[in-house]
Structure 1
Amino acid sequence: MRLDEWFLTDEERDNPSTRLTAWSTGNLVRPLVHGATYFAELKAGLDRLGPRDLLLFTDWRGDPDQRLTDTGPGMAAAMAQAARRGALVRGLIWRSHLDALRFSAAENRHLGEDVEAAGGQALLDTRVRIGGSHHQKFVVLRHRGDPAGDVAFLGGVDLCHGRRDDAGHRGDPQPPPMSPEYGERPPWHDAQVAIHGPAVAEVEKVFRERWDDPAPETRQPFRRLRDHLERMDDVPPLPPPRPAPEPAGTHAVQLLRTYPYRRRPYPFAPRGERSVARGYQKVLRRARSFVYLEDQYLWSTDVIEPFAEALEREPELRMIVVVPRHPDQDGWLAAPASLIGRSEALDRLRQAGGDRFAVYDLENHAGTPVYVHAKVCVVDDVWASVGSDNVNLRSWTYDSELSCAVIDEELDPRPPAGGRVFARRLRLMLAAEHLDRDPDDVDELCDPKAAFEAFAESADRLAAWHRGGCRGTRPPGRLRPHSRPEVGRLRKVLALPLYKLAVDPDGRPADLRRAHRF
């Protein structure tokens, strides 16, 4: 199989200023489903860091006291311990909006302060468009004496409260503020990957490009003065990059990114970069049998169109989407603003796919909705992506994002033929959890039609049990049919400007926006 038929070429990425290679081969990528799984691996990796080893991390939100395991330590303490052992710790943390707006300005600053106090360096990075964010979530660990232990973690999991949930979905003991529908300990479904092999050096390049950006982290005088007084404005050079790790597996990896177009351009992306959008568009043109998607938002008709076109083009194509039942934040205008785009997107996909399109949400065994924060897509059991990007204009054009697309050289021997081991195993791992099935007893779900029907039957049984007053034994499974979100006319009229300007803005250059291109 030719990788350039599935992955973007350098020309198709359309960003000659980046240091990234088109893709790398010889990698081993392991899915880490659930924050508890990821945090346990991250702790083990941090514990192994020694003198002159390298820890690089980016974060959208970071809580210094977020425990990595039940017994700790906190996130900041684990990084500080590595710094005290002589590891070079460098972080790029988004300089968030105010806590009063349910963001994380104070927490992100405190995480940076704790890293600095231990001898590391963390920058509060606001080099974004107005109202935008740095949404990338990755960690790179490089070892001076043990390059075989080098690893990069990336995906949807922030280093903060609420993320350390597991397959039981009882929620993180350190819960975040969320809509009351999710209870006092909001259940949280998320995914990250651990990468070994040459692609680790590619993830490191993403960090280095942002770190080496000569533009100041903020242009606001008060913030610059505060950073200077707290010694958070110095940018020590990184050590020279080490050689890429040796091959470790059979996985080809392509890194896909979003950077917005800015009047003060990024030197590594002068017109921005929209390879996340372009990667999805290219692979969806190849989709023939099955698209499986887990996504936090699923907004915007421009973004949804390549999914709809695939359904219209291929009469045998089936598509399953898993989304949250409710927005993460309540409010008279905030919630409708979050639902407007999804309502339009679901209408378009149902029109395109009819009964070959299905959308579900999740609940735990106590009946509490599970917040779906994962950003996972599997196409035809060949191409799989795990990252920070959501299916909306903000993630495809406005915020910084980073995703890992994987194609396995190894063919899966189970029918139907053509599936690759990594993509198929990832999809079946998620299906087993949502259906309450034994992970070793899901081979029949390799068939797209069987998987589609199994999801529908499980969700219908659970919905019928709820309609019947929850009498008798609860049927297995966590899936519920996702109903079309309804927004009243007045609230929609009032919330529409908020949706367009703040919830799902467009960060493309004007010529691409007019042409509806990415």
Structure 2
Amino acid sequence: MPGATRSVKILLTAAEAYPALERAFLAAKTEIWASFMIFDLSTRLRSDEGRAIGKTWFDLVVHTLNRGVALHISISDVDPIARAAMHRAACRHQRMFFAAAGVAEPGAKLHVRRLRHSAETGVLIRLLIWPYIMQKVFRTARWLNRQTPAIRQAALRDMEGAVRNLHVRKDGTVRPKFRALPRLFPSLHHQKLAVIDRKLLYIGGLDLDERRYDTPFHRRPGDETWHDVQLMIEGAVVAEAQAHLETFSDVIDGRIAPARTRRLLRTLSRPRRHSLWHFGPEPLVTEFYSAHGVLARRAKDLIYIETQYFRDPSLAKVLAEQARRKPSLKLILILPAAPDDVAFDGRRGLDARFGEAMQARALRILRGGFGARLFVGSPAQPRPALPDGRADPADRRDRHFGAPMVYVHAKVSVFDDFAAVVSSANLNGRSLRWDTEAGVYLNAPNDVLELRHRVMAHWLPPDTGPEAYDMQTALAFWKTHAWRNAARHPRDRQGYLLPHDFAAAEAFGRKPPILPGEFV
């Protein structure tokens, strides 16, 4: 079978993934190519081997450069208006790489790019949403003006994209420029992968920073939990990933055509030639959407999915149609109880409400197609959010059935026991059609079985029997177990599994005019 000799290592949460990536950097002999949305060199080293050479990834990068290893790193830049904080972080992370090269010995081989997706929102759309754009610019200006002069100056240094929309006064404070129509860049490079010496691939949904560090036990405060899945892979897919890393920006900018792949899955989009009326880019490669449709049509018994967002109604319709055609087909879907910006940052704005509205619609479609053969779960820690027994406020989205939520960021889909997808792509329109995403298709039976068992077992008590994993009995077990947990006091719950709260997103969500579903 193709791919049967491939070596696959499954890494659950950063507690397993970060040390593995550190060891891969330490073992590299000639070159490393990587593309991440976030790669923060102030992140602490976790492996014993890493801590033997320093405290943070800054030390590890200097050590790697000093050994003569060439580093080719792409960091995702973003729209400086809609995502001002992320834009500032991207500039800072690139600057830290340059600083590491400066500390390293002469001749360091560092090639670091801060890449922003080149697609822009059309002029007419920008005119229509001008009040929304200016609201974002004003928010950035207010934040800057609240800072001390030194912090403001440092922030402006790392906000070159945002500065184009601001006027800096003589006293150092800022105000928005009113006569210019700001440019908008709605797409981003969302992938998270690295290739070491053209032999080893690290790929999945996990970026590198302290916020994303968590252990499989999820004993941190709720707003610091982060469940993710990465893979370490050897085999033919590594060459496909290497070619992708070397060419994806040229493909997006139209200089070359996308290569055909067998095991690497991608989302790639490009700027539209005539974009006056278009909000986003033209989809070019939509392999995650296609793969889910093809594999769902082949599935007979159980589809298991973990995703940060399920917001694409068209994909929901594809899955629901297969459920109507095949009475034996069941779906287990694991989602966070709420998006992180809503749960932890208290966002109540247009984009947050739009995202919840899109997910509520997609879940309604799934429920209509699968009926009782659908279980949607959301994990929470087995401890009360309020230890003194006080009532939990109903509007606290960071809590789920009285317990701190576990934030799900993994992007895993398993189809029966014959195929699986692990990637950076959420199941929303943005990841399926707009953003740059990368992942792998697994079809070796041992890989698929091990992945399905590990990700499912993660949410269940250690002594759970085989009925929780059997494709005929798993759905009933998961439903019963989740609702029993919900009826118990948080400290008496077994494992992390709870039912998803459909009503919360239905009540919170709002669908605005003009904006396409891919916006969220």
Question: What TM-score do you get using the length of structure 1 for normalisation?
Answer: 0.73
What is the distance in 1 between the residues matched to 2:337 and 2:382? 15
271 and 34 in structure 1: CA distance in 2 versus 1, 3 angstrom threshold: closer
Which residue number corresponds to residue 468 of structure 2?
445
153 and 488 in structure 1: CA distance in 2 versus 1, 3 angstrom threshold: closer
Paired AA for residue 265 in structure 2: L
Which residue number corresponds to residue 483 of structure 1?
501
Which residue number corresponds to residue 231 of structure 1?
none
Which residue number corresponds to residue 279 of structure 1?
291
Which residue number corresponds to residue 127 of structure 1?
117
What is the distance in 2 between the residues matched to 1:374 and 1:75? 23
Report the CA distance between 1:295 and its aligned residue.
0.5
Instruction: State the Cα RMSD in Å.
Output: 2.8
Contact 2:359 2:505 in 1 (8 A): no
Contact 2:301 2:328 in 1 (8 A): yes
Question: Which of 352, 371, 379 is the matching residue for 1:354?
Answer: 371
What is the distance in 1 between the residues matched to 2:6 and 2:435? 27
Which residue number corresponds to residue 496 of structure 1?
512
Question: Which of 448, 459, 481 is the matching residue for 1:458?
Answer: 481
Report the CA distance between 1:281 and its aligned residue.
1.1
Contact 1:128 1:134 in 2 (8 A): no
Q: 2:61 matched to 1:79?
A: yes
Comparing 151-160 with 447-456, greater Cα deviation is found at 447-456
What is the distance in 2 between the residues matched to 1:328 and 1:498? 25
Percentage identity across paired residues of the two chains: 26
What is the distance in 1 between the residues matched to 2:245 and 2:318? 30
271 and 290 in structure 1: CA distance in 2 versus 1, 3 angstrom threshold: closer
Question: Which of 447, 451, 474 is the matching residue for 1:426?
Answer: 451
Question: Which of 434, 448, 468 is the matching residue for 1:398?
Answer: 434
Contact 1:64 1:110 in 2 (8 A): no
What is the distance in 1 between the residues matched to 2:470 and 2:254? 52
447 and 483 in structure 1: CA distance in 2 versus 1, 3 angstrom threshold: same
210 and 92 in structure 1: CA distance in 2 versus 1, 3 angstrom threshold: same
Which residue number corresponds to residue 417 of structure 2?
381
1:103-114 paired onto structure 2 within 5 Å: 103-114=85-96
458 and 301 in structure 1: CA distance in 2 versus 1, 3 angstrom threshold: same
168 and 486 in structure 1: CA distance in 2 versus 1, 3 angstrom threshold: closer
Deviations 1:459-481 (A, max 9, x none): 11210014xxx5xx613120110
Paired AA for residue 36 in structure 1: A
Which residue number corresponds to residue 36 of structure 1?
15
487 and 424 in structure 1: CA distance in 2 versus 1, 3 angstrom threshold: closer
92 and 501 in structure 1: CA distance in 2 versus 1, 3 angstrom threshold: same
Paired AA for residue 455 in structure 1: W
Report the CA distance between 1:447 and its aligned residue.
1.7
Q: 2:307 matched to 1:295?
A: yes
Report the CA distance between 1:104 and its aligned residue.
1.7
Report the CA distance between 1:502 and its aligned residue.
6.7
Which residue number corresponds to residue 202 of structure 1?
240
SS state at 1:93 partner: strand
Contact 1:459 1:477 in 2 (8 A): no
Unaligned runs of 5+ in 2: 102-107, 120-184, 256-260, 275-280, 384-402
Contact 1:46 1:82 in 2 (8 A): yes
What is the distance in 2 between the residues matched to 1:399 and 1:69? 30
Structure with larger Rg: 2
1:14-413 paired onto structure 2 within 5 Å: 26-50=5-29, 53-69=30-46, 73-98=55-80, 101=83, 103-117=85-99, 118=101, 119=108, 120-129=110-119, 130-142=185-197, 150-171=199-220, 183=222, 185-210=223-248, 254-263=263-272, 272-330=284-342, 331-333=347-349, 334-366=351-383, 367-408=403-444
Contact 1:55 1:90 in 2 (8 A): yes
Contact 1:75 1:159 in 2 (8 A): no
214 and 402 in structure 1: CA distance in 2 versus 1, 3 angstrom threshold: closer
Report the CA distance between 1:253 and its aligned residue.
6.6
389 and 337 in structure 1: CA distance in 2 versus 1, 3 angstrom threshold: same
122 and 434 in structure 1: CA distance in 2 versus 1, 3 angstrom threshold: same
Which residue number corresponds to residue 168 of structure 2?
none
264 and 80 in structure 1: CA distance in 2 versus 1, 3 angstrom threshold: farther
Which residue number corresponds to residue 222 of structure 1?
none
SS state at 2:23 partner: helix
Paired AA for residue 28 in structure 1: S
Contact 1:342 1:485 in 2 (8 A): no
What is the distance in 2 between the residues matched to 1:128 and 1:485? 38
Contact 2:252 2:268 in 1 (8 A): no
Which residue number corresponds to residue 145 of structure 2?
none
355 and 56 in structure 1: CA distance in 2 versus 1, 3 angstrom threshold: same
Report the CA distance between 1:134 and its aligned residue.
0.2
Report the CA distance between 1:201 and its aligned residue.
1.3
Question: What TM-score do you get using the length of structure 2 for normalisation?
Answer: 0.72
159 and 216 in structure 1: CA distance in 2 versus 1, 3 angstrom threshold: farther
Contact 2:324 2:369 in 1 (8 A): yes
Contact 1:294 1:322 in 2 (8 A): yes
Deviations 1:53-93 (A, max 9, x none): 11111011222211231756323332232112110001111
